[in-house]
Amino acid sequence: MQYRKPSKVVNIDAFRIDVTTPTPAPIQRSERFYRVPQVWLDKAMAAAHPRSLHTLIVALCLYRQWMMRKKSVDCILIGNIDLARRGVSPDAKIDALRKLEAAGLIRVQHRPRKSPRVTVLPAEQSKDD
pLDDT digits (tens, 9 = 90+) for 71-85: 888 899 988 988 898
Output 88 or 9, whichever has higher pLDDT.
88
Coil, helix or strand at residue 4: coil
Would you say 47 and 105 are in contact if contact means Cβ atoms under 8 Å apart?
yes
Residue-level pLDDT at 97: 94
Residue-level pLDDT at 28: 66
pLDDT digits (tens, 9 = 90+) for 90-126: 999 999 999 999 989 999 999 898 999 999 998 765 4
Question: Can you give the pTM of this predicted structure?
Answer: 0.66
* 26 exposure class (CB count in 10 Å sphere: 0-12, 13-18, 19+): exposed
Tell whether domain 38-120 is in CATH 1.10.10.10.
yes
d(Cα 30, Cα 54) in Å, to the nearest integer?
23
Residue 45 C-alpha from the chain's centroid: 20
Outline where DSSP puts E strands in the chain. 76-77, 106-109, 117-120
pLDDT digits (tens, 9 = 90+) for 27-84: 666 666 677 888 888 888 888 877 788 898 899 889 888 888 888 888 999 889 888 9
Q: Residues with Cβ < 8 Å from 61, sequence gap 6 or more?
A: 78, 82, 83, 86
